[in-house]
Amino acid sequence: MKKLIWMAIVLFTSIASFGQKKKDLIAQVAKLKTEATEMKAQLNQINKSREVNLEDDLHKFSYAFGVEIGSNLKTVGVDSLAYNVFATALEETFSGKERISAEEARTVVQKSIQEIQEREAKELSEAGELFLAENEKKPGIVSTASGLQYEVLTLGNGEKPIASDKVKVHYEGKLIDGKVFDSSVERGEPVVFGVSQVIAGWTEALQLMQVGSKWRVYIPQDLAYGQRGAGGSIPPYAALIFDVELLSIEK
């Protein structure tokens, strides 16, 4: 009899416990549904806030200002921001509640940009050095004392220019990743310039070439544009590759 009573108590307790767990589960499901609804509303609000209407003057100005800032940042090597922090800084500055002064902000920005550029410059310089070190091992590559490398694609039999000469050439310039940044060949018109009026790598190579020759010239960054780069197409510390065809010496 006692055993039956004990079993009944255990069964009742289990049923009660199950009932409580079921209630707790229902409550948790209801809470999750509420949270999901709130999250959906927040996402809708975020998506709505990202809508751009370029017919609206304020939207157009805001978007244009963002494009200008983004373009400038890309130019100096910045490719991402903590956008929510950026927006917070704008809002707080407009309301006069910025957390750092304009002078301190300027110092932080300048320091960060300098660090980014120095890091990129080091990576580019190392990449160029590694490329030239491997390239030098290839058959047909000639290296000069300055570090210039070249291979003869077509051997000419004309005169060699000197530093004071002007020459007519066709050329195509590439970065070591193969990206073409300039090409007289594509333009369909050769160029004329003084042998000593170009980058050091060109000046050296031209004086080694005979008219009628076509060379592929590999130029270390210190014989090219070095730390300054050239416009937006040649980054600082970039090694360069040129296909150069020496058409004539201009008298």
- Strands (E) across 160-202 are located at 166-175, 180-183, 191-194
- Per-residue three-class SS string for 39-83: HHHHHHHHHHHCCCCCCCHHHHHHHHHHHHHHHHHHHCCCCCCCH
Instruction: Judge whether 83 counts as a catalytic residue.
Output: no
d(CA 227, CA 223): 11
From CA 92, how far away is CA 95, in angstroms rounded?
5
Which of 225, 234, 237, 241 is labelled catalytic? 225
Q: Is 199 a catalytic residue?
A: yes
Beta bridge partners of 174: 180, 241
Catalytic residue among 150, 182, 218, 241: 182
Task: For residue 198, give both structure tokens.
Answer: 């170009």
To the query of whether residue 171 is one of the catalytic residues in this protein, the response is yes
Distance of CA 76 to the CA centre of its chain: 10
Given the residues 116, 199, 222, 243, select the one marked as catalytic: 199
Nearest Cα to Cα of residue 100 among 113, 115, 85: 85
Residue 218 catalytic?
A: no
CA-wise closest residue to 138 among 126, 146, 150: 150
Closest CA to 50 of 81, 74, 84: 84
Six token digits for residue 9: 């108590």
Answer whether 234's CB lies under 8 Å from 197's CB.
Answer: no
Catalytic residue among 131, 141, 165, 181: 181
Residue 214's Cβ-side half-sphere holds a number of Cα atoms within 13 Å equal to 8
- Please tell me the total number of residues recorded for the chain in this structure: 251
Told to judge if 193 belongs to the known catalytic residues of this protein, a careful annotator would answer: no
Q: Annotated catalytic, 182?
A: yes
Name the residues annotated as catalytic: 171, 181-182, 199, 225, 242
